């Protein structure tokens, strides 16, 4: 096979405690998956099935740097548990789902909120608000066998040392196995897929010079400088 030009290296995540890297295939994100966050965004979570949008694999960054993006005056942080799949399939059951999980990471779903709000108002796709460069800072992956349980545990984010988001994974409307199962009815999942599982209440704007720290019990920390 002769490429017209040299292909870019595949996006990857490091695997904590090893010299291995995890190749990223697709990035799925579930929206409004914590009740209080759904309410703060003006929605009734009791009436909504899960819905998903995507980021680009090369939006994942691991260097701890978030360059403030262009074309926006309002960028929000959203701390999330990230699930990495080692296998996939279609029409999975929740009982099948957890056997497909390779590991977990701490991620930020950075959002150009003003552009997303305009897209919502005009009933347009969200890519300009969600899938821009550097929009998915992520920690190293922790292998699933090292995480006691992905269904409970504190998740929080601090900005410049002040706690902004605080919740528990048990507050998810759709837990991890049900997210995987529901998503597999919509797409054929495969090894290398990442799922950003939603964010608790307290999302807010960030500016250049901020230092963000996100934490998930059993998974670890992610520190990001906004530059």
CATH number at 136 reads 3.90.850.10
The answer on pLDDT for 39 being more than 60 is no
The whole domain housing 218 covers 21-226
CA torsion, ordered 118, 123, 128, 130, to nearest 10 deg: 100
The answer as to whether 130 is a domain residue is yes
Q: Which of 62-66, 67-71, 119-123, 144-148 has the lowest mean pLDDT?
A: 144-148
User: Cα separations (Å) of 110 from 60, 84, 106?
Assistant: 11, 19, 13
- Share of residues in the chain with pLDDT > 90 (%): 89
What is the C-alpha to C-alpha distance for residues 120 and 165, in angstroms, rounded to an integer? Answer: 24
Number of domains in the chain: 1
The answer as to whether 220 is a domain residue is yes
The answer as to whether 106 is a domain residue is yes
- Two structure tokens written together for 93: 């059951």
What is the C-alpha to C-alpha distance for residues 92 and 172, in angstroms, rounded to an integer? Answer: 20
The answer as to whether 8 is a domain residue is no
pLDDT tens for 170-186 read 999 999 999 999 999 99
The answer as to whether 9 is a domain residue is no
The answer on pLDDT for 62 being more than 90 is yes
The answer as to whether 29 is a domain residue is yes
The answer on pLDDT for 42 being more than 70 is no
CB-based burial, 173-196: b 16+ in 10 Å, e otherwise: bbbbbebbbbbbeeeebeebbbbb
The answer as to whether 1 is a domain residue is no
What is the C-alpha to C-alpha distance for residues 179 and 185, in angstroms, rounded to an integer? Answer: 10
**Band of the pLDDT at 35, cuts 50, 70, 90?**
confident
Contact residues for 1 (Cβ-Cβ < 8 A; gap 6+):
none
What is the C-alpha to C-alpha distance for residues 179 and 52, in angstroms, rounded to an integer? Answer: 10
pLDDT tens for 102-145 read 999 999 999 999 999 999 999 999 999 999 999 999 999 999 99
pLDDT at 45: 62
Question: pTM of this prediction?
Answer: 0.95
The answer as to whether 15 is a domain residue is no
Is residue 8 exposed (0-12), middle (13-18) or buried (19+ Cβ within 10 Å)? exposed
**Band of the pLDDT at 53, cuts 50, 70, 90?**
very high
Which H or E run includes 6?
none
Which residue has 């930020």 as its token pair?
A: 108
- Two structure tokens written together for 69: 């993006």
């Amino acid at each position: 096979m002769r490429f017209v030009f040299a292909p870019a290296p595949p996006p990857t995540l490091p695997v904590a405690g090893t010299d291995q890297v995890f190749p990223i295939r697709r990035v799925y994100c579930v929206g409004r998956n914590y009740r209080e966050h759904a309410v703060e965004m003006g929605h009734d979570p009791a009436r909504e099935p899960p819905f998903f949008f995507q980021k680009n694999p090369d939006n994942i960054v691991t260097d701890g740097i978030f360059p403030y993006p262009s074309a926006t005056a309002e960028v929000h942080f959203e701390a999330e548990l990230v699930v990495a799949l080692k296998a996939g399939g279609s029409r999975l059951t929740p009982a099948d789902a957890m056997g497909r999980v390779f590991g977990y990471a701490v991620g930020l779903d950075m959002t150009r909120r003003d552009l997303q709000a305009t897209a919502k108002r005009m009933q347009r796709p969200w890519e300009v608000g969600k899938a821009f460069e550097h929009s998915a800072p992520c920690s190293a992956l922790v292998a699933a066998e090292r995480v006691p349980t992905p269904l409970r545990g504190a998740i929080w984010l601090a900005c410049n040392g002040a706690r902004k988001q605080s919740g528990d994974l048990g507050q998810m409307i759709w837990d991890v196995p049900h997210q995987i199962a529901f998503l597999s009815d919509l797409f054929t999942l495969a090894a290398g897929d990442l799922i950003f599982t939603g964010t608790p209440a307290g999302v807010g704007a960030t500016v250049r010079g901020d230092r963000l720290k996100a934490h998930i019990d059993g998974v670890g920390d992610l520190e990001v400088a906004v530059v």
